[in-house]
Amino acid sequence: MNNKLVEFNKSQKTSEMPKFRAGDVVKVFRKIIEGGKERIQVFEGMIIAIKGAQSSSSMITVRKVSNGFGVEIVVPVQSPNIEKIELLKRAKTRSSKLYYVRERSAKSLKMKFTDAANLAKDEKKTPVVEAVVEVVAEPVLEEVVVQEKKEEAVA
């Protein structure tokens, strides 16, 4: 049963979406059918939560303030009704769920944003840092093993 669900969700994928994180400011382009006409509605806001990020059908919660009222939508990322999701800015956050944003004003959040144009430069640097971490991690594991053997020889 689970395999059928995963296969169905994969067949519904419209295109590859970028990796989203909490704190990203995105534009969601949704298809809306009114009467017999179809149009695209744009919803711009901040991602405050991602649910099922590793599954084939993840959902994001996007929040914006419109006319003094907070408006949230829960968007299935791979839905056929979603035309595209455009990443505008990325904020540096420490938590994966930003539900505290609901009680605070935009000015009191003081998040540090980076533009989407600068994100491509950061993504190119990331694999190099990961490779260095892997090389450094291997000798440390060998040293621990050597210390354990010495302790066994003493006992």
Contact in structure between 33 and 52 (CB atoms under 8 Å): no
Residue range 68-73: mean pLDDT, rounded:
89
Which spans in the chain are helix H?
Answer: 2-11, 106-109, 116-154
Q: Is the pLDDT assigned to residue 106 strictly greater than 70?
A: no
Residue range 76-83: mean pLDDT, rounded:
86
Alpha-carbon span 131 to 68, nearest angstrom = 47
Q: Identify the pLDDT of residue 96.
A: 85
Q: Identify the pLDDT of residue 80.
A: 83
Convert the pLDDT of each residue in 20-61 to its tens digit.
888 889 999 999 999 999 999 999 999 999 988 777 678 899
Alpha-carbon span 130 to 123, nearest angstrom = 11
* Strand, coil or helix: 22: coil
Q: Identify the pLDDT of residue 42.
A: 95
Convert the pLDDT of each residue in 110-122 to its tens digit.
676 777 767 666 5
Could you tell me the residue ranges of all domains in the chain?
2-111, 116-155
Report the predicted TM-score, pTM, of the whole model to 2 decimal places: 0.64
Query: What class is the 2-111 domain?
Result: mainly beta
Which spans in 55-115 are helix H?
Answer: 106-109
Q: What is the dihedral of CA 119, 65, 62, 36, to 10 degrees?
A: -110
The percent of residues above 90 in pLDDT, for the chain, comes to 20
